[in-house]
């Protein structure tokens, strides 16, 4: 679904050249959930923006669904760290924004999307809040609206840039459980950026660990834990802990993988 071949990104700042990404090769399969993880400044967000077509790569090629990416595509949606809702629009019309922007739909088509918007809002537990303004909602609810907005056009690919990192721990776990459920239901390809190892392990099929400055792929870790995965009452705590430990090692300063002590099992 997504192919990155030898992708590199160089920024020209005041302090000179900054090599953000170097020699990134990554293939993401259809319906796969891939998480990019790495320390601050490793270029995870940059990589996501390259796939989104918000930024042209300095070198290498980016393909989505077999086509080279040059501008943002209709079937790719982007979800930000902050909800990024338009403050004057009601919840439902924020969800409808992508439909409105791309236009070209007949009245009937629009009505279908409107129904879908209501379905999505119900799916994330926001039934009854359709007419509210964003400032009347909590941070978690706002991010749910943002999730609905990125789902409205039935995207083939969803790019998510630390979407839950501004939320409190409880809301965060709740939303990542919801995202898992939604992905299983809707079958979309997701590339997800996070700082949280736990989130990466619970959500992903594969975790791509990036090194900082310049960002390179350090290791790609497969996660073979059956779904649905939860943190609370789940049977896979050992595996989660094991993989988390491994990822933690990869991310640590020395970068040496740490083997999990037997005693933890």
Partner 1 sequence: MSARSWLTHSRTAAVLLPAVGLVLALGLWWLATIVFAIDSYLLPDPGEVLVAFLEQPGYLLEETGVSLLETLEGFLLAIIVGVPVALLIVRSVIVERLLYPLLLGVNAIPKIAIAPLLVIWFGFGQGPKILMVLLVCFFPIVISTASGMKSTPVELVELLRSLNASKTQEFFKLRLRYAMPQIFTGLKVAISLAVIGSVIAEFVGATSGLGYVITQSGASANTALAFAAITLLSIMAILLFYGLVLLEHLLLPWAQESR
Number of residues that bind partner 1 (CB under 8 A): 24
Q: Does 70 bind partner 1 (CB under 8 A)?
A: no
Q: Which residues contact 136 (CB under 8 A, 6 or more apart)?
A: none
Q: How far is the CB of 33 from partner 1 (least distance, A)?
A: 20
Q: Give the residue with the Cβ less far from partner 1, 70 or 233.
A: 70
CA distances in angstroms from 50 to 8, 54, 62, 214, listed in the order given: 10, 6, 7, 15
Check if the beta carbon of residue 191 is closer than 8 Å to that of residue 48. Answer: yes
Phi/psi at 157 (5° precision): -130, 135
β 67-68/206-211 pair status: unpaired
What number of residues does the chain have?
A: 265
Q: Does 132 bind partner 1 (CB under 8 A)?
A: no
Q: Does 154 bind partner 1 (CB under 8 A)?
A: no
Q: Does 129 bind partner 1 (CB under 8 A)?
A: no
Segment near partner 1 (CB under 8 A); pick from 109-117, 129-137, 210-218, 243-251? 129-137
Q: Give the residue with the Cβ less far from partner 1, 155 or 215.
A: 155
Q: Does 104 bind partner 1 (CB under 8 A)?
A: no
Q: Give the residue with the Cβ less far from partner 1, 18 or 54.
A: 54
Q: Give the residue with the Cβ less far from partner 1, 136 or 168.
A: 136
Q: How far is the CB of 260 from partner 1 (least distance, A)?
A: 38
Segment near partner 1 (CB under 8 A); pick from 93-101, 106-114, 205-213, 224-232? 93-101
Q: How far is the CB of 78 from partner 1 (least distance, A)?
A: 4
In a 13 Å sphere around the CA of 140, the CA atoms on its Cβ side amount to: 14
Q: Does 184 bind partner 1 (CB under 8 A)?
A: no
C-alpha gyration radius of the chain? 19
Check if the beta carbon of residue 178 is closer than 8 Å to that of residue 199. Answer: no
Instruction: For residues 226 and 217, give the distance between their C-alpha atoms in angstroms, rounded to a whole number.
Output: 25
Q: Does 98 bind partner 1 (CB under 8 A)?
A: yes
| Bridge partners of residue 191, in order along the sequence | 34, 159
Q: Does 77 bind partner 1 (CB under 8 A)?
A: yes
Instruction: For residues 86 and 68, give the distance between their C-alpha atoms in angstroms, rounded to a whole number.
Output: 31
| Bridge partners of residue 16, in order along the sequence | 13
Q: Binding pattern to partner 1, positions 27-56, x when CB under 8 A?
A: -------------------------x-x--
Q: Does 263 bind partner 1 (CB under 8 A)?
A: no
Q: Does 177 bind partner 1 (CB under 8 A)?
A: no
Instruction: For residues 179 and 197, give the distance between their C-alpha atoms in angstroms, rounded to a whole number.
Output: 16
Q: Does 256 bind partner 1 (CB under 8 A)?
A: no
Q: 78: burial class by Cβ within 10 Å (0-12, 13-18, 19+)?
A: buried
Contact residues toward partner 1 (CB under 8 A) are 52, 54, 71-74, 77-78, 80-82, 84, 86-88, 97-98, 100-102, 133-136
């Amino acid at each position: 679904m997504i192919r990155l071949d030898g992708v590199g990104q160089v920024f020209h700042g005041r302090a000179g050249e900054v090599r953000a990404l170097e020699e990134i090769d990554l293939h993401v399969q259809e319906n796969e959930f891939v998480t990019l993880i790495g320390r601050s400044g490793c270029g995870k967000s940059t990589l996501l923006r390259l796939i989104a077509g918000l930024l042209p790569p300095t070198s290498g090629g980016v393909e989505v669904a077999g086509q080279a990416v040059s501008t943002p595509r209709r079937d790719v949606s982007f979800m930000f760290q902050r909800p990024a809702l338009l403050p004057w629009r009601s919840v439902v019309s924020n969800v409808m924004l992508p439909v409105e922007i791309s236009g070209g739909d007949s009245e009937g088509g629009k009505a279908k999307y409107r129904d879908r918007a209501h379905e999505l809002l119900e799916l994330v537990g926001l039934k009854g809040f359709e007419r509210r303004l964003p400032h009347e909602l909590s941070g978690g609810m706002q991010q749910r609206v943002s999730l609905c907005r990125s789902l409205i056009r039935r995207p083939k690919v969803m790019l998510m840039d630390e979407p839950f990192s501004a939320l409190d721990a409880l809301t965060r776990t709740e939303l990542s459980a919801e995202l898992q459920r939604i992905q299983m239901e809707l079958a979309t390809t997701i590339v997800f950026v996070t700082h949280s190892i736990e989130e990466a392990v619970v959500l992903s099929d594969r975790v791509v660990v990036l090194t900082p400055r310049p960002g390179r792929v350090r290791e790609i870790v497969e996660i073979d834990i059956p779904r649905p995965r939860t943190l609370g009452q789940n049977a896979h705590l050992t595996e989660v802990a094991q993989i988390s430990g491994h990822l933690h090692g990869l991310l640590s300063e020395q970068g040496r993988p740490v083997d999990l002590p037997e005693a933890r099992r």
